[in-house]
Every structure is written in C-alpha cells, then in structure tokens.
C-alpha cells in the first residue's frame, strides 16, 4: 500500500553510555505529545541523516510500554559494520531532531502462554526489557536467561536482577558459564512459550534443541535482525523502472534502490518481515542471501532476493523493480 | 449541533427508517454496474464531510436504537459476546480506541478525561458517566470489550496474530449477516472464511491475510461488503434463523420497496497497540428499497448488479428466492441510461 509506516518527528532527549559498547538513546515527540502505545518486542526504524547518506536501521524499544512519554533504544557499537551504529554513537547528541517510524512488532508475546521462558544473548536483551516490563505490570509469569561475554558487557543485567531478582539468571562467557539448555527446555511446565533473541548461532542452537526435545514450532519465537553486511560494490538493472544502479560497498541493495528514487515497501529492514521481497528477472553470478524470510528453496532457485540485507557478486543482475 | 437520535425498532414492528440526510450518506457499495469479488481494501482515512467516513468511527441517528437492540440480543443469548482469556489486554486496546474516536468525532455526545490510569467516560445519549481504572477490569461493570461495544455501533471481532495467521479469539457480534461468533471463536482466518464461494480459488484470502498481518499501528484500512436483508433486522444470526429465514418467502411485488433492504458492511482493520492484535469492526448500514431508489443512479445500478450477479454469489448471499421479484421491481426504475462512475448518488453532497 505504501512504504514503511507512519513517521514520528522526535528529538533526542538524552544519550546515556551504558558500557564500553552500548549507548542508550531517549526520544521524545517534538510536539511534546505522548508517543504511540506499543507492545513488548516492538521495534522502530531510526532514520539517520549522515551527510548525503540516509541509513534506516531497526532497533527494539526497550522502555516500558506503560510509559509513552519517551522511547528508548540501546545501540551496540559495531566497528566493522556499515557505520549506522558508529553514526549513532558519534553524531547523535541530546537536542538532535530525528525521524523514527511508528512501532512495529514482529516479536510479539504469545499471551496464551502460561509461562514465558526468555533467552537473551548480548544486545539481544533489548526486546526483553520491554516484554518483562509489560509482563511484570500484569502479573505475568516469566523467567529470563541472559548470556553476555563478560559481566561488564552484560547490558542492564544489574537492573534486571534488581527488578526481577530470581526470575533472572546471568551467564558469562569469560567464566565459561553456559545455559544448560537441554535441562532447561526439558523441565518447563506445559503451556510454556520460548523466546530467543541474540546472535544467529544462539538462535539456531536454541531452535534446534527445542525441536529435538519436542517443542511445537508455534511455541518457539525468535527475532534476529540481520544487519546489512558490507561487501564488494555491484551493478543492478531495475527492469520495471528502467534504471541501472550501483550498490556501494557500505550500502545495502535496498538503500541503493531508494537512492535511485524507487520506493519498494519495507518494514523491518532486517530480513525478517518479507515486505521488500523482490523477484529476480535474470542473473549471472552468485547471491549472498542474509535474510530469514525466504525459504531455502527460494535461495537455491535464485528467483527472489531480500534487498534489505542480501547482496550479489557477479556479472549482471536484473530485478523486477 | 448534535445528532437527533431516532426512536425505532429492528424487530417486531420494524419502525427503522433513514432520514433524507442519511439516505444521501448511505455507503452505496457499487462503483460500477456489476459486482465481483476483489481485494477492495483501501486506507481508512477521513472522507468528505457529511459522509459515513467523516469520522473513522461513525455514529449516526440509529445509535441509541441499535444499542437497545444489542442489549436485547445479549439478554437472550450472552454467547454473542465472547473473549478468550488471553484477549483481555486487546479488549482494553479496543476500549481506548473507541472512546478516543467517539469523543474526537462527537464531543457534544461523548467525553473522555484521563488522569494517568484514572479515566472518566461520559456517554450522554445513553446516560452513562463512569470513572474507572484503565487496565483494572474490576472497576467496570463488564469486561473492557463488552463494556465499550455495548456503546458502539457495529460488530467487533478482535483477532489475535500469531504463527503468521489471525485467530478469531474475541468479539461482540449481534448485527451479523448470517454467521456465528460462537461457531467461529478460536478459528483462524482460513477456517472462518471456508464457506465463502469462489474467493478461495482466486487466491483472495491468501493475499488478504498477507495484507492484514502487515497492518500497521496508525494506518487502519477498510473495505465494503454487502448483502440483502428482508425487513430491517440487525440480528440475522444462524442462532435466530428460525425468526428471519422465513421472511424471505414473504416478498411480493407490492412490498419489495418496504421489505427488501440493501445491507452494507463498512469493515475496517486496526492494529491494536498493547496486544499487537487486530480489531475488525463490521459496521452494518441498512437501507430499504423505497429509500434507495430516491437516488435514480443507485436504482439503475442496483438493478443491473442484482440482475447479473453470478448464481453462486446470489445463493451465498441468500437472494435466490426473491431475486426475480426484486429484479422485476427494479427494472421499472432502470431506463437504460448510463450511470456516472463512482459510488455517490447523482445529487452528491
């Protein structure tokens, strides 16, 4: 119907360094009204105007859904990424006017659950900050297991323990602490739903073990926004609009299509929601698929690509855009 | 100036009528001289002043009478309103949406005041002035969904979204075109649409589900649907088929104008913020043939649509028995002249 979601004009109301890697950003509406209510697990897409370049990155809302005076996100600095997180860390200061999207939830709580079992890895803690606030406010039953590399990189671990005490269990890689996953998954009451957010390896591990231990697929929920990866530049022909574009090494294919004045629909910009799915007309080369949306068969048959996160290497690529 | 609410009935003596202004604002559903299914969904944005789209939640002259009829239906059959245990949060979402929209559109009739989670709701047409704690069900006389939908025109289905599907897990359904919430509760999108002919083969439901699961907060959508009803009866439910089914045998050339009603549903779709569910209000508008044909364009077009309707659709909509009588009656009002494009009457507001 139209590209993305309704936009919100906000101002950065606070910037708080949390630890060596993570900084928290607070947004309020410029018109001083309340922000839209949201549900735990929702994200917003933040528009970053960096000189000539515009990046649009999704971040989970981590504040309480019960308090909509401000939205908060936490951004982990990625020194080898495409520069979105570096821009946030270096250039975004209190008072800066920015544009963010309305909240979208692709990682919603299943409110039928008798118990919510949450597994977080690293910065994957952020959606659980909002979900635990939501559940705690309504007497919900949850248990959170949170792994981080070290105690000092366990973002918000202190706060969570302070809020929820024994409902939170921490694990630190440098101390060789690991979630005893099989035991954990085998000892849950009937009606438990499992949620996992963290690095791809962790998500795959948890999903595989849950499936092996007989958890129904509809009780296992996961969210992994793939950040668009940098790569070699490549050329693309857009068959519908008749344009030929170059995708820069630090640019995503979706960003390059948008920069050419073509507006495909999008929501998550992380290979999850399926909105920007694009048909391949012809190609000579190989695809680098990074999405979680297309099936393996789609990937093998090379008939579709998710331009928000995936790239191409080769001689020629023609897309139906 | 406020709305003058009519005193009228949708049962027994059937005193329901539309005022001349309400005839002109009727949401006539045919933009051309024929009808076939399409995914006719568009953004639900505010439309022209004086139309049913002037406000996103429409309140009209039938409001008080419709709420009285709903109370009668519920007294006889409480299962018309159901909410599965996990849907209470969505009920609060709906309460907020309907209070906000009705207070925004009709400040002379409705007032909402909030002080944190202490809310005061004044509904002047129904004589209600309640103060309650948002989120605390014990502070309302009913659950949040039932409370607010006893004060809002139209049926409401609240759909839970999970596993890439939508689930009919709560609703208030008393003005329905022959379907049952009690039967459909807990079903998913494909299950509750299973009886609809032709549309499955056209892949319409797969596309519609994809669209609906991507409805975003702050961006509601809408579509029109239609059928016909004999006598201005809001409650044409399967549960009460024995009451309204036989009405279809009573249509004669003499009483078509008074008995046969075009029934249009303005369906809208809204993402609910706290629960991440979707609410699907189904607002029913009735107009009798005598009222409809006061607009010559609508008379000509309706004749052509009903005459040419595919047999499967006529059967599904329950028109088979009286279609010939209706078409013959409408034929007299169709001189064969062309009709202008678009939905509106020729005398547009």
- In this predicted structure, what is the pLDDT of residue A293? 83
Q: Which of B216, B219, B272 to mutate to test the interface with A (most CBs of A within 10 A)?
A: B216
Domain boundaries, chain B: 20-331
Identify the helix (H) or strand (E) that includes residue A299. Answer: helix A296-301
Active site residues of B: 223
Cβ contact, residue pair A102, B86, below 8 Å: no
Q: How far apart are CA A137 and CA B17, in angstroms?
A: 48
- In this predicted structure, what is the pLDDT of residue B1? 66
Q: Which of B274, B275, B277 to mutate to test the interface with A (most CBs of A within 10 A)?
A: B274
The model's confidence at residue A12, banded by pLDDT at 50, 70 and 90, is very high
Cβ contact, residue pair B162, A108, below 8 Å: yes
First-to-last C-alpha distance (Å) of chain B: 18
Q: How far apart are CA A187 and CA B145, in angstroms?
A: 36
Q: How far apart are CA B275 and CA B272, in angstroms?
A: 6
Decide if A200 contacts A225 (C-beta within 8 A).
no
Identify the helix (H) or strand (E) that includes residue B146. Answer: helix B144-149
Torsion angle in degrees (nearest 10) through CA of B51, B56, B57, B59:
-20
A261 pLDDT higher than 50 = yes
Decide if A249 contacts A233 (C-beta within 8 A).
yes
A311 pLDDT higher than 90 = yes
B178 burial level (CB within 10 Å; 0-12, 13-18, 19+): middle
Mean pLDDT rounded to a whole number for chain A = 93
Distances (CA, A) of B119 to A54, B96, B116, B152: 42, 10, 8, 18
- In this predicted structure, what is the pLDDT of residue A165? 95
Q: Which of A51-65, A301-315, B185-199, B203-217 has the lowest mean pLDDT?
A: B203-217
List the single residue in A5, A39, A138 with the smallest CB-CB distance to B219.
A5
Cβ contact, residue pair B218, A105, below 8 Å: no
- In this predicted structure, what is the pLDDT of residue B203? 73
CATH says A234-319 is which class?
alpha beta
pLDDT tens-digit series, residues A151-210: 999 999 999 999 999 999 999 999 999 999 999 999 999 999 999 999 989 999 999 999
Q: How far apart are CA B144 and CA B275, in angstroms?
A: 14
pLDDT tens-digit series, residues A270-300: 887 888 999 999 999 999 998 878 888 899 9
A52 pLDDT higher than 50 = yes
- What ranges in A82-187 are assigned the alpha helix state H? 84-91, 126-137, 157-164, 181-186
Cβ contact, residue pair A105, B276, below 8 Å: yes
Distances (CA, A) of A105 to A67, A137, A172, B16: 17, 19, 29, 43
Which residues in chain B are contacts of A134 at CB distance < 8 A? Answer: 274
The answer, for B332 touching chain A at a CB cutoff of 8 Å, is no
Mean pLDDT of A209-228: 90
Q: How far apart are CA A113 and CA A116, in angstroms?
A: 6
Q: What are phi and psi of A288, to 5 degrees?
A: -115, 90
Domain A7-105 sits in CATH at: 2.40.30.10
Cα B323 off chain centre by: 23
DSSP, collapsed to helix, strand or coil, labels residue B128 as: strand
CB pairs under 8 A between A and B: 62
Q: How far apart are CA A5 and CA A316, in angstroms?
A: 32
pLDDT tens-digit series, residues A224-259: 777 788 889 999 999 999 999 999 988 899 999 999
The candidate with the shortest Cα–Cα distance to B217, out of A300, A11, A230, A4, is A4
Searching chain A, which residue's CA lies closest to the CA of residue B43?
Answer: A1
What angle, 0 to 180 degrees and rounded to 10, lies between the N-to-C axes of helices B296-308 and B323-331? 140
User: Per CATH, which fold does A115-223 belong to?
Assistant: Rossmann fold (3.40.50)
Which residues in chain B are contacts of A65 at CB distance < 8 A? Answer: 274
Which residues in chain A are contacts of B160 at CB distance < 8 A? Answer: 111-112
The answer, for B102 touching chain A at a CB cutoff of 8 Å, is no
List the single residue in B86, B214, B217 with the smallest CB-CB distance to A275.
B214
A2 pLDDT higher than 50 = no
What pLDDT tens digit does each residue of chain B (349 aa) get? 699 999 999 999 999 999 999 999 999 999 889 887 766 778 899 999 999 999 999 999 999 999 999 999 999 999 999 999 999 999 999 999 999 999 999 999 999 999 989 999 999 999 999 999 999 999 999 999 999 999 999 999 999 999 989 999 999 999 998 899 999 999 999 999 988 777 777 677 887 888 888 888 988 999 999 999 999 999 999 999 999 999 999 999 999 999 999 999 999 999 999 999 999 999 999 999 999 999 999 999 999 999 999 998 899 899 999 999 999 999 999 999 989 888 888 754 3
- In this predicted structure, what is the pLDDT of residue B194? 87
Question: For residue A253, what is the DSSP state?
Answer: H
The candidate with the shortest Cα–Cα distance to A257, out of A314, A315, A305, A313, is A305
- In this predicted structure, what is the pLDDT of residue B25? 94
Q: Which of A4, A38, A39, A194 to mutate to test the interface with B (most CBs of B within 10 A)?
A: A39
Domain boundaries, chain A: 7-105, 115-223, 234-319
Decide if A11 contacts A35 (C-beta within 8 A).
no
The candidate with the shortest Cα–Cα distance to B152, out of B66, B235, B84, is B66
- In this predicted structure, what is the pLDDT of residue B347? 55
B343 burial level (CB within 10 Å; 0-12, 13-18, 19+): middle
């Amino acid at each position: 119907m139209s590209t993305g979601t309704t936009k919100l004009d906000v101002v950065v109301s606070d910037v708080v360094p949390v630890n060596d890697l993570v900084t928290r950003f607070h947004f309020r509406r410029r018109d001083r009204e309340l922000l839209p209510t949201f549900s735990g697990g929702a994200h917003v897409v933040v528009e970053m105007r960096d000189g000539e370049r515009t990046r649009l990155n999704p971040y989970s809302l981590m504040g309480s859904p019960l308090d909509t005076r401000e939205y908060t996100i936490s951004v982990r600095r990625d020194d080898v990424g495409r520069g979105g997180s570096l821009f946030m860390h270096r250039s975004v200061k209190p008072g800066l006017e920015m544009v963010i999207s309305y909240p979208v939830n692709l990682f919603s709580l299943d409110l039928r659950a008798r118990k919510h079992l949450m597994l977080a890895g690293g910065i994957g803690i952020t959606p659980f900050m909002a979900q635990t606030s939501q559940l705690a406010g309504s007497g919900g039953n949850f248990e959170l297991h949170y792994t981080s590399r070290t105690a000092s990189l366990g973002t918000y671990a202190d706060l969570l323990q302070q809020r929820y005490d024994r409902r939170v269990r921490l694990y630190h890689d440098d101390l060789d602490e690991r979630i005893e996953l099989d035991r954990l998954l085998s000892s849950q009451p009937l009606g438990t739903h499992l949620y996992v957010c963290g690095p791809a390896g962790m998500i795959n591990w948890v999903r595989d073990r849950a499936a092996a231990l007989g958890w129904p697929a509809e009780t296992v929920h996961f969210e992994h926004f793939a950040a668009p990866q940098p790569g070699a530049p490549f050329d693309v022909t857009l068959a519908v609009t008749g344009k030929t574009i170059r995708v820069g090494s630090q640019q995503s294919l979706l960003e390059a299509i948008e920069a050419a004045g073509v507006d495909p629909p999008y929501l998550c910009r992380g290979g999850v929601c399926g909105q920007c799915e694009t048909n391949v007309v012809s190609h000579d080369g190989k695809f680098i698929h990074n999405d979680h949306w297309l099936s393996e068969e789609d990937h093998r048959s090379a008939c579709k690509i998710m331009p928000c996160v995936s790239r191409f290497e080769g001689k020629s690529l023609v897309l139906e855009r | 100036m406020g709305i003058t609410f009519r005193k009228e009935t949708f049962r027994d003596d059937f005193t329901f009528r539309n005022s001349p202004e309400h005839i002109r604002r009727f949401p006539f559903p045919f933009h051309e001289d024929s009808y076939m299914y399409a995914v006719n969904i568009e953004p639900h944005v505010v439309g022209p002043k004086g139309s049913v789209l002037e406000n996103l939640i429409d309140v009209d002259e039938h409001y008080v009478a419709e709420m009285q009829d709903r109370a009668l239906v519920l007294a006889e059959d409480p299962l018309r309103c159901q909410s599965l245990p996990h849907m209470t949060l969505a009920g609060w979402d709906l309460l907020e949406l309907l209070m906000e929209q009705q207070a925004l559109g009709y400040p002379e009739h409705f007032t909402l005041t909030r002080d944190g989670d202490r809310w005061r709701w004044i509904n002047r047409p129904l004589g209600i002035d309640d103060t309650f704690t948002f989120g605390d069900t014990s502070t309302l006389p009913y659950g949040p969904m039932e409370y607010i939908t006893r004060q809002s025109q139209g049926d409401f289905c609240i759909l839970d979204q999970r596993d890439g599907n939508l689930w009919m897990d709560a609703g208030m359904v008393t003005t329905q075109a022959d379907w049952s919430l009690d039967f459909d509760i807990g079903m998913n999108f494909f299950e509750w649409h299973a009886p609809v002919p032709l549309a499955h083969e056209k892949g319409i439901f797969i596309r519609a589900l994809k669209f609906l699961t991507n409805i975003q907060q702050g961006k509601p959508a809408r579509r029109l649907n239609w059928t016909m009803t004999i006598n201005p009866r809001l409650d044409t439910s399967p549960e009460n088929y024995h009451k309204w089914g036989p009405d279809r045998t009573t249509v004669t050339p003499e009483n078509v104008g008074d008995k046969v009603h075009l029934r249009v549903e303005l369906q809208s779709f809204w993402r609910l913020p706290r629960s991440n569910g979707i609410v699907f209000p189904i607002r029913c508008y009735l107009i009798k043939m005598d009222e409809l044909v006061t607009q010559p364009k609508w008379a000509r077009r309706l004749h052509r649509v009903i005459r040419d309707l595919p047999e499967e659709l006529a059967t599904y909509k329950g028109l088979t028995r009286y279609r010939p009588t209706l078409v013959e009656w409408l034929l007299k009002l169709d001189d064969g002249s062309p009709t202008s494009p678009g939905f509106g009457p020729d005398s547009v507001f």
